[in-house]
């Protein structure tokens, strides 16, 4: 399946500033697949070590960090030659071998002409747990997310829709010929999500039941990770927080509240468990910026945040939302439809490189997302339906005067002025092309 990160991998391969590459991402989002595809298509050969499948290979790194010795032993173990410029050396599940992580410093310093890629699912967790000597400044980093909606559309065999809608004129309504199938695909994406195995199951079977089984397996695997990789004292807390995410998203004011995780529990008792889920890539924390100035990260309130899940399909299954509920849009689904729409937009923004926050002014106004763009910031208002009336957005524009912003809804494409802010209305299914409209 097509993954856009392949373009970033090609850039890395050809970069003169290339260092060993660390590819991170939540477990089962397709890291091994994409590295193998990259290696097969862009190198003469790929030599792989998987530190989860074989404990024996870890011994290669036990003695010292002499890169030539390490490469020699890898060649003898795999029976393949490692040739700089021709070979992609792939360390998979590298979090299981802390000394292999440390060795990247020496690959960077002493073997820069060799292409080395490492993948790790629980790397943030492992570094803290094992107190790894991390090679700061000696690696390049990329993060792989679950499949975006654009990638899902392409995987579904409708790349023609992506090609047609790419850079669509803002002053031309999108006709039903294109909008109807895109809306149908978006509903399917809300049900299936972007975990590659779930997407493949949907493509192969067109069965939501099969997709649900994949989701349940992935969720069980994540739960097993809690027991395997988290401190025993934190495992119950991690489970409480993990189970509370859909509940907290469904609230009218979906600020994350620790006391809603488990009665009688305070933030000080649960913060480490929340951080574990964040380090594992299973959740995203969206922080409040009450008085936006640049950089937004310097004005974020790290004590006031919302929590979202990394994959929409897993959120849907974990929440117990039946596929028919999304397909038929029953009245009782209205509130959670808004939560899913917010989670969808956050994941889409992150997939195109944005670092979002949200803005709230007391209890009177809120803009769902804001992110930096060069010398300013961009407000993004999200509506689950086609109602784009947004008093909070207007209040934000009046107060901070951003040059442009977005309203994301089921409404067709369009543009108008909100106070002094050029405001682009985009349908949910077009967020992947959002940057085209900031001209």
DSSP 123-161: HHHHHHHHT----TTS-EEEEPPSPPHHHHHHHTT-HHH
Residue 134 has what pLDDT? Answer: 80
Report residue 421 as tokens. Answer: 């802010």
Contacts of 157 (CB under 8 A, 6+ apart): 203
Rounded distance between C-alpha atoms, residue 61 and residue 53, angstroms: 16
User: Which pLDDT score is estimated for 65?
Assistant: 96
* Alpha-carbon distance values, 267 to 125, 190, 262, 338 (Å): 20, 31, 10, 27
**CB neighbour list of residue 59: distance below 8 Å, 6 or more residues apart:** none
Task: Tell me: pLDDT of 411 over 60.
Answer: yes
Using alpha carbons, select from 322, 315, 29, 348 the residue that is nearest to residue 356: 348
Distance (Å) of CA 172 to CA 258, 347, 426: 46, 27, 12
- According to the model, what pLDDT value does residue 121 have? 85
Residue 129, pLDDT score:
64
Say what the pLDDT of residue 308 is: 97
Average pLDDT over residues 354-366: 91
Q: What is the CB neighbour count within 10 angstroms for residue 64?
A: 11
Judged against a pLDDT cut of 70, whether residue 7 lies above it is answered with yes
Distance CA 11, CA 15 (A): 6
Q: What pTM, to 2 d.p., does this model score?
A: 0.94
User: Tokens standing for 318?
Assistant: 């974990």
**Residue 157: is it exposed, middle or buried by C-beta count within 10 angstroms (0-12/13-18/19+)?**
exposed
Domain segments of the chain: what residues?
5-143, 149-438
Give mean pLDDT, residues 75-101. 95
What pLDDT was estimated at residue 132?
67
Q: Looking at residue 275, what is its pLDDT?
A: 93
Is 359 in a helix, a strand, or coil? strand
Which residues does 103 contact at the CB level (< 8 Å), separation at least 6?
A: 61, 65, 67, 70
pLDDT at 273: 94
For the ranges 81-90, 210-219, 259-268, 401-410, which has the lowest average pLDDT? 259-268
| pLDDT exceeds cutoff 80 at 80 | yes
Contact assessment for residue 315 and residue 343, using Cβ atoms and an 8 Å cutoff: yes
User: Would you state the pLDDT for residue 190?
Assistant: 98
| Segment 98-153, tens digit of pLDDT | 999 999 999 999 999 999 999 988 877 776 665 567 888 999 999 999 999 999 99
Match 């991998």 to its residue by tokens. Answer: 9
The residue-averaged pLDDT of 372-400 equals 89
Asked whether the CA dihedral 346, 352, 356, 358 is positive or negative, the reply is negative
In the prediction, which pLDDT does 130 show?
56
Instruction: Say if residue 89's pLDDT is above 80.
Output: yes
Model pLDDT, residue 123? 79
pLDDT at 254: 82
With pLDDT > 70 as the criterion, what percentage of the chain qualifies? 98
Q: What is the fold of 5-143?
A: Rossmann fold (3.40.50)
Whether the predicted pLDDT of 60 surpasses 80 = yes
Query: Where residue 379 falls among pLDDT bands split at 50, 70, 90?
Result: very high
Nearest Cα residue to 290 out of 370, 406, 383, 350 = 370
Residues 43-59: pLDDT tens digits?
999 999 999 887 789 99
pLDDT tens, position by position, 303-352: 999 999 999 999 999 999 999 999 998 878 888 999 999 999 999 999 99
């Amino acid at each position: 399946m097509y993954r856009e990160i392949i373009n970033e991998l090609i850039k890395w391969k050809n970069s003169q500033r290339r260092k060993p590459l660390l590819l991170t991402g939540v477990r089962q989002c397709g890291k091994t697949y994409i590295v193998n595809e990259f290696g097969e298509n862009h190198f003469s050969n790929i030599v792989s070590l998987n530190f989860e499948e074989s404990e024996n290979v870890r011994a290669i790194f036990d003695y010292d960090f002499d890169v030539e010795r390490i490469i020699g032993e890898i060649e003898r173990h795999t029976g393949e030659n490692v040739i700089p410029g021709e070979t992609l050396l792939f360390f998979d599940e590298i979090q299981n071998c802390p000394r292999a992580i440390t060795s990247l410093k020496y690959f960077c310093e002493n073997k820069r002409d060799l292409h080395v890629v490492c993948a790790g699912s629980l790397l943030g967790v492992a570094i803290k747990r094992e107190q790894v000597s991390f090679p700061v400044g000696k690696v390049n980093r990329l993060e792989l997310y679950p499949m975006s909606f654009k990638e899902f559309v392409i995987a579904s065999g409708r790349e023609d829709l992506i090609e047609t809608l790419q850079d669509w004129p803002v002053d031309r309504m999108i006709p039903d010929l294109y909008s109807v199938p895109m809306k149908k695909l978006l509903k399917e994406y809300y049900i299936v999500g972007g975990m590659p195995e779930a997407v493949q199951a949907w493509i192969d079977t067109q069965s939501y039941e099969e997709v649900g089984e994949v989701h349940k397996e992935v969720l069980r695997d994540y739960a097993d990770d809690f027991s395997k990789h988290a401190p025993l004292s934190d495992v119950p807390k991690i489970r409480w927080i993990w189970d509370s995410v859909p509940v907290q998203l469904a609230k009218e004011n979906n600020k994350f509240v620790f006391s809603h995780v488990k009665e009688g529990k305070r933030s000080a008792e649960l913060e480490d468990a929340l951080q574990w889920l964040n380090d594992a890539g299973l959740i995203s924390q969206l922080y409040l910026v009450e008085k936006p100035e640049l950089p937004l990260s310097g004005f974020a309130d790290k004590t006031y945040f919302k929590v979202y899940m990394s994959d929409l399909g897993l959120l849907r299954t974990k929440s117990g939302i039946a596929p028919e509920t999304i397909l038929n849009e029953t009245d009782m689904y209205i509130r959670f439809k808004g939560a899913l729409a917010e989670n969808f937009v956050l994941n889409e923004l992150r997939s195109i490189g944005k670092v979002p926050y949200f803005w709230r002014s007391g209890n009177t106004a809120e803009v769902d997302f804001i992110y930096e763009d060069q010398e300013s910031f961009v407000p993004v208002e999200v509506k689950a339906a086609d109602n784009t009336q947004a008093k909070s957005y207007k209040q934000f524009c009046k107060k901070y005067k951003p040059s442009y912003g977005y309203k994301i809804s089921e409404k067709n494409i369009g543009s108008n002025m909100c106070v002094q802010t050029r405001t682009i209305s985009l349908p949910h299914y077009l967020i992947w092309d959002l940057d085209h409209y900031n001209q």
